[in-house]
């Protein structure tokens, strides 16, 4: 659906060149919710603005739905942009226009007849949950309602791609979740490809299927969200995972456990997908002559499924402990022995 090859953007400031996006190559599948995460200055906002040529690339090629965006002239680009919706962190609404008039604005520019325009606006107001607010002005709306207007406006021309540049960063956590739920609903109902730019890992965790991590203008890590959460390779990725998993606190707790328990084996279990719902500990305790002490754990949901970590102490005869661990391993739960005091 979206193919990006060797994309670069170089700015010149005070006779000095700054590379904001550096030789970026990426494939995004049709209908995917694709997350791009990075800290401030990573180049992610420049990257998303290059996709619809709000910023002109210095080098590289962008193909969206078999159309090479980077080779279009100004008239061709104006038409192509109708199929690429975009929403922003600070909403970018027209403050002198009502909700319905803000949503209708891109349709007016496209020359859509009024009757057809009004029909489309009503559909979009219902879709984003703003029924009975269509005559309100932006100053009369909450932050979440303003962003819903922004989403409806971005969908007005039935785009194939929706670009979201820090779309939830100005919102409180509860409102953020409601907007993310709306984006998932739109993705499922319309089959829309969504590219989500953010610096918040919980946003990626909640709705994205694939993620790319940016640092210094480059993609340093990418893959399925679940895989990246479970096995982050780069230091910047590990920091983002800590946002939702509290890895530092966990490591401190593990060190305490290692120094506390001097019997049996201390193990860490990694549950992925359906295995998080298994009554595994109860089954093992019934099957083998061992004592199991649950020490600490955490389960997190992603769009691709659940994963979790559980620390347990297993005490008993060495042979029974080994049999129990072998049984757990065969269930596809990953087992890591942290301390063996036998």
Ranges of the chain whose pLDDT falls below 50: 249
pLDDT of residue 251: 54
**Architecture in CATH of 2-242:** 3-Layer(aba) Sandwich (3.40)
Between strands 161-165 and 193-198, the pairing is: parallel
Residue among 296, 307, 233 at smallest CA distance from 271: 307
Query: What is the DSSP secondary structure assignment for residue 163, as one 8-state letter?
Result: E
What's the pLDDT at 258? 64
Whole-number pLDDT of residue 256: 64
Virtual CA dihedral for 133, 134, 136, 139, nearest 10 degrees?
A: 90
64 contacts 161 by C-beta, under 8 angstroms: yes
pLDDT at 297: 79
Angle ∠(333,305,198) on CA atoms, nearest 5 = 125
Q: Mention the CATH class of domain 247-340.
A: alpha beta
pLDDT tens digits for 128-165? 999 989 999 999 999 999 999 999 999 999 999 999 99
196-207 confidence digits (pLDDT tens): 999 998 899 889
Instruction: Give residues with Cβ within 8 angstroms of 92, minimum separation 6.
Output: 150
Residue boundaries of the structural domains of the chain: 2-242, 247-340
Beta bridge partners of 28: 2
Q: What is the pTM of this model?
A: 0.81
Q: Are 202 and 243 in contact (CB under 8 A)?
A: yes
Q: What's the pLDDT at 306?
A: 67
């Amino acid at each position: 659906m979206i193919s990006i090859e060797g994309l670069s953007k170089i700015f010149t400031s005070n006779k000095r060149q700054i590379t904001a996006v550096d030789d970026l190559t990426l494939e995004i599948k049709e209908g995917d919710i694709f997350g791009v995460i990075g800290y401030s200055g990573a180049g992610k906002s420049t990257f998303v603005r290059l996709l619809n040529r709000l910023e002109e690339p210095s080098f590289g090629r962008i193909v969206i739905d078999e159309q090479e965006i980077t080779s279009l002239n100004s008239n061709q680009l104006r038409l192509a942009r109708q199929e690429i919706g975009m929403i922003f962190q600070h909403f970018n609404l027209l403050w002198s226009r009502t909700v319905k008039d803000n949503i209708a604005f891109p349709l007016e520019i496209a020359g859509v007849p009024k009757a057809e325009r009004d029909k489309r606006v009503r559909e979009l107001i219902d879709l984003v949950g703003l029924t009975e607010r269509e005559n309100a002005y932006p100053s009369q709306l909450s932050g979440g309602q303003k962003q819903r207007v922004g989403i409806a406006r971005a969908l007005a021309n039935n785009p194939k791609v929706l670009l979201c540049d820090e779309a939830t960063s100005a919102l409180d956590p509860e409102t953020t979740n409601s907007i993310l739920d709306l984006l998932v609903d739109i993705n499922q109902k319309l089959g829309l490809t969504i590219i989500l730019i953010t610096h918040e890992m919980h946003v990626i965790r909640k709705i994205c299927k694939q993620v790319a991590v940016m640092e210094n203008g480059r993609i340093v890590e990418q893959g399925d969200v679940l895989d990246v959460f479970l096995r982050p390779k780069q230091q910047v990725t590990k920091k983002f995972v800590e946002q939702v998993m509290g890895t530092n606190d966990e490591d401190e707790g593990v060190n305490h456990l290692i120094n506390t328990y001097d019997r049996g084996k201390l193990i860490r279990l990694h549950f992925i997908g359906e295995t998080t719902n298994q009554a595994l500990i109860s089954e093992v305790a019934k099957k083998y002559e061992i004592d199991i002490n649950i020490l600490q754990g955490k389960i997190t949901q992603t769009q691709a499924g659940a994963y979790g970590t559980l620390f347990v102490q297993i005490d008993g005869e060495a042979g029974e402990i080994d049999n129990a661990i072998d049984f757990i391993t065969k269930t596809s739960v990953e087992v890591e022995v942290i301390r063996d005091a036998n």
